[in-house]
Structure 1
Amino acid sequence: MTTPETARTPLTRNESASTTAQYARQIVGNYDIVVALFCGLLLISNIGATKLIEFRLFGLVPIIADGGAFLFPLTYVLGDVLAEVYGMGRARRAIILGFALSILASLSFLAVNSAPPATDWPNQAAWNAVLGFVPRIVLASLLGYLAGQFLNAYVLVRIKEHTKEGRLWARLVGSTVVGELADTVIFCTVAFGGLVTVGTWANYTVVGYIYKVTVEVVCLPITYAVIRAVKRREPGYA
């Protein structure tokens, strides 16, 4: 007969008599690193995009863009890496994760902005100007991002089904042309439609689109090198 003194609780699957500390199995490959960089660049770019900037081409022609233009094209480079190496399923997972983190960041900034500032803290207006996102800017960013990244991944994967491992340049450029077009038009229209003149909107949209596509084309050698490096380090790549 079992007594309270002799009763023993059965060991669970994760418990053993071993004195060695147990941890989850090590992740192989670089998927987690690529996703982390992808999401980080996205969040930084979204903050930078709250500022419109203007350059003068040859001192005459105004070129209007936003602060996100510095890093945002690189999210499409990493989006290409995700779709090319890991396929549509895991690219979709990264895109949704980036979308969720963007919403979380926006809600966090909204909560901080709404919280009463300390009596002797003089920077509430500055905080509000930079991180007190206008709702339509947030909506524009999220809609443009979702449409652009999903189209980028979808087009790349569909082209790869026909080209196999060859003609990487064709799927990188083709997916960029489609994805960036959707992203740029949606963002510029939702964010600034009706707030700026038609000429400024057209300038902002066309310049932004050409700039982003140009950056990705210029970065093709880097994208090639990154994709080769990631493929070599993926044991399950086939």
Structure 2
Amino acid sequence: MTDMSTAPSPNHDAVRFAARGSSHFDLLLAMFCVVIVISNVVATKAVEVGSGQVLLGPVQLWPLVLDGGVVLFPLAYVLGDVIAEVYGLRAARRAILAGFAAAVLAAGTFFVVELLPAASWYENEAAYSAVLGPVSQIVLASVAGYLAGQFLNSWVLVRMKQRSAERRLVARLVGSTGVGEVADTLIFCAIAASAIGVTTFGAFLNYFVMGVLLKVGVELALMPLTVRVIAWLKRREPSYYAG
């Protein structure tokens, strides 16, 4: 472990990334996969915030239409930013593909279990199908949006870092997040909307816009913590300042 008092002074003009072979990367990768799987399951619940109805033409402004994934999924982008910033684009791609594999494995397991004959005394078959039945569609939506959004997020962040090196960290975190979340949320909402009962164009626009605003808002709120975690990892990864 590198002591903070002996860590080398960073050269802000050098573009650096740490090697992936560390326990820190393994932990981030595990957390990333868990967030993806849990988010896909809880996204099957439609959430409506507010009562009454306010329309602007075909667009539903109120109540707000969300899904349960908004609670945890923004953390996937925070973790993706940390991995891309500290370990680089190749490591980010590995994390994205690992999350994809975990999501597909979970959805496949839910589907196979749903097909198995229930025990004669088992009374929750309908509940199981109602909760986990839509997961396959949610996973399809999540995987399509997630692959596009995460790859864009990581690509934009790394390309911006190649221009600014260690400077302008917040700018590249915000820029990459905005691009990734818009692409991810648009694709996800387009595929998943019918699975959670969003059937009108106005409700869909609400679902999409609020999804982007809330996810980006959560990431902006977590930005001070993200910056601290990145700085902490850079100091404690011996390979980051090596050479």
What TM-score do you get using the length of structure 2 for normalisation? 0.83
Q: Does the alignment pair 1:223 with 2:229?
A: no
Distance 1:230 1:204 in 2: 35
1:136 Cα deviation from its structure 2 partner: 3.1
The corresponding residue for 1:22 is none
Q: Does the alignment pair 1:81 with 2:82?
A: yes
Residues 20-79 of structure 1 show CA distances to partners (whole Å, capped at 9, x for unaligned) of: xxxxxxx63400001111111111111111111011189973011100100100100000
Counterpart AA for 1:90: A
The corresponding residue for 1:98 is 99
1:176 Cα deviation from its structure 2 partner: 0.4
Among 197, 211, 216, which residue is 2:200 paired with?
197
1:82 Cα deviation from its structure 2 partner: 0.4
Q: In 2, are the aligned partners of 1:63 and 1:204 still within 8 Å (CA)?
A: yes
Q: In 1, are the aligned partners of 2:156 and 2:176 still within 8 Å (CA)?
A: yes
Q: In 2, are the aligned partners of 1:30 and 1:233 still within 8 Å (CA)?
A: no
The corresponding residue for 2:209 is 206
Counterpart AA for 2:201: V
Judging changes above 3 Å, is the alpha-carbon distance between structure 1 residues 234 and 57 closer, same or farther for their aligned structure 2 residues?
farther
Q: Percent identity?
A: 53
Question: Structure 1 runs of 4+ off > 4 angstroms?
Answer: 57-60
Consecutive unaligned residues of structure 1, counting only runs of 5 or more, are 1-26
Distance 1:31 1:123 in 2: 39
Q: In 2, are the aligned partners of 1:49 and 1:68 still within 8 Å (CA)?
A: yes
What TM-score do you get using the length of structure 1 for normalisation? 0.85
Consecutive unaligned residues of structure 2, counting only runs of 5 or more, are 1-20, 55-61
The corresponding residue for 1:112 is 113
Greater RCO (Cα-Cα under 8 Å, separation 6 or more): 2
Counterpart AA for 1:40: V
1:137 Cα deviation from its structure 2 partner: 2.4
Distance 2:238 2:52 in 1: 50
Matched position secondary structure for 1:30: helix
